[in-house]
Amino acid sequence: MNLSMRGIVKSFGANKVLRQVDFSLEAGEICALLGENGAGKSTLMNILGGVLQPDAGVIEIDGMPVSFHSPAQSLNRGIAFIHQELNLINDLPVYENMFIGREIKKHGFIDHKEELRQTRALFDRMEIAIDPTAPVSSLDLSYRQIVEISRALMMKASVIIMDEPTTSLTDPEIERVFDMLRMLKKRQVGVVFISHKLREVMEICDRYVVLRDGAAVSGGLVKDASIAGIARDMVGHDVSMEALRQSGQMNREVLRLEDLTQEPHYRHMSLTVHGGEVLGVTGLLGDGRSELFRTVFGDGGKYQGKIYLEGKPVQITSTRQALALGIGYLPRNRKENAIIKDMNILDNGTMVTLEKFARFGIISRKKQLESFDRQRGNLRIKMGSPFDPIGSLSGGNQQKVVLAKWLCTDPKLLILDNPTQGVDVGAKEEIYEIILQLARRGVAVVVLSNEAQEIIRVCNRALVLYHGDLQAEVSGDAMNESNIMRLATGGITEEEKAQ
């Protein structure tokens, strides 16, 4: 299928979201659709997916004009939209998920045998190593993504729109999904790849289109482009790709772990973090870094070993206690663990410090607003009213609100788990600058990330974990992508073992 969108216009009230946008996709092509949050990417794809109707413009499939007034109409013409929040039921087996909403019936009952047969046949054809009878809950995120893609193929999709498909995946999981995309190319399926991860775009995509402020500002073959050039087109100015880490004064010891162990997640972890330092912790799937620092935040259960805060031994058993000790923790999955969707921006940005604004059990809205407004200005949060729903903000601004929540506590130690997950390149740079500002103020910052480039850019030094063990500490010239990847995959020299 060859797809063309020409002159697409869409406004919401006085806000013109799309301005005469052209977009095309050929059979067997992977085209990246890029831009900052709010650039119009989702609106354009929601028009293609039948969720929204354009105010003006034409959509053509194989040269014939079409119009979609519902997602079902778009899907019936072979266009499938796989969203960030995967639409799977964890308690059902894979093969039943493949037919949700269009179950195969026989004599009035679901024909499980036929659904299983068709699922196996598709998996065999696509060389997918998934047991169709396994519950979805038993699969890692990459295989769940592959199940969603397979379901689209089962519905005869010729075009698949993938919205941030690798946001929550580790490197090996990403490669698994990329293998699936390469298989789709061979079978002449077109893929729209929406992502903020430009290195992935360079690896897997054939072509790219950049939107900025609702207009298509650039595009072309990926092989003729550079990361720096695409990033510049996305934000409208040059974006530095150089390391940002600073060699500022590291002062007092804030955190020390001695022989911390919690099987099966991590073992014999000993490390220190100082005020004014940005410490990176990285690795691959199952490295134990999130579990280790959830323990430090009082959310990891029982452990062996010792934790020292500012030189004093502490036994942290709850998040309330950790908060009282001056520890903040930004979790890795913003939508599941960091924001409350039914709350407004203000309440999300101050929820951990509400007691500070209360007297006789009544919250002073004035004090709450004053505290949030300080962080709003410091973090340059782009928003309307603080009473607007948190969901009205872009991903990057939601992440800043979560940061504001912890900065209101004036932390001594701030743990950031994948702090730029799902945010665009411009917001990423702003969050990096916030991290460095915190370090300059004497806060001890720990950045947990599966992106080696992120660790290199912002951290003074890094610890590389492998299956719950501390492989090595790297800094200076040794803190490079190839070295980090070698250590994260278990490669270690005898000299490194001896250190």
Ordered per-residue pLDDT tens for the chain, 499 residues: 899 999 999 998 877 889 999 999 999 999 999 987 678 898 999 999 999 999 999 999 999 999 999 998 999 999 998 877 678 898 999 999 999 888 899 888 999 999 999 999 998 888 888 999 999 999 887 888 889 888 888 888 999 999 888 876 767 778 888 988 998 899 899 999 998 788 889 999 999 999 988 999 999 999 999 988 888 888 786 655 555 665 556 678 999 999 999 998 999 999 999 999 999 999 876 788 999 999 999 988 899 999 999 999 999 999 999 999 999 998 876 666 667 877 888 888 887 777 777 777 787 788 888 888 888 887 788 888 888 888 888 777 888 888 888 888 889 999 999 888 777 777 788 889 889 988 998 999 999 998 888 898 899 999 999 888 999 999 888 888 878 878 887 766 556 555 5
Please determine, looking at this structure, whether the domain spanning 3-235 carries the CATH number 3.40.50.300.
yes
User: How far apart (Å, rounded) are the C-alpha atoms in residues 327 and 337?
Assistant: 17
User: How far apart (Å, rounded) are the C-alpha atoms in residues 165 and 153?
Assistant: 16
CATH superfamily of 253-498: P-loop containing nucleotide triphosphate hydrolases (3.40.50.300)
- Cβ proximity of 222 and 202 under 8 Å: yes
Secondary structure (3-state) at 52 = coil
> What letter does residue 391 receive in the DSSP assignment?
G
Q: Which helix (H) or strand (E) holds 270?
A: strand 266-274
Q: Give pLDDT, residue 222.
A: 95
Q: Give pLDDT, residue 334.
A: 62
Residue 345 CA to chain centroid, in angstroms?
20
Q: Give pLDDT, residue 30.
A: 96
Residue carrying the six token digits 């072509």: 207
Cis peptide bond prior to 331, omega within 30° of 0 = no
Secondary structure (3-state) at 310 = coil
Q: What is the pTM of this model?
A: 0.65
Which tokens belong to 360? Answer: 């006789």
What lies within 8 Å, CB to CB, of 267 at 6+ separation is: 261, 468, 469
- Cβ proximity of 296 and 327 under 8 Å: yes
Q: 427 vs 97, 146, 163, 397, 420, CA distance in Å?
A: 35, 29, 18, 8, 8
- Cβ proximity of 210 and 233 under 8 Å: yes
User: How far apart (Å, rounded) are the C-alpha atoms in residues 445 and 435?
Assistant: 7
Task: Enumerate the CATH 3.40.50.300 domain ranges in the chain, comma separated.
Answer: 3-235, 253-498
Strand partners, 209: 33, 219
Which tokens belong to 490? Answer: 């278990």
Q: Give pLDDT, residue 493.
A: 58
Which tokens belong to 255? Answer: 């955190």
Q: 175 vs 117, 208, 356, 460, 490, CA distance in Å?
A: 28, 20, 47, 29, 18
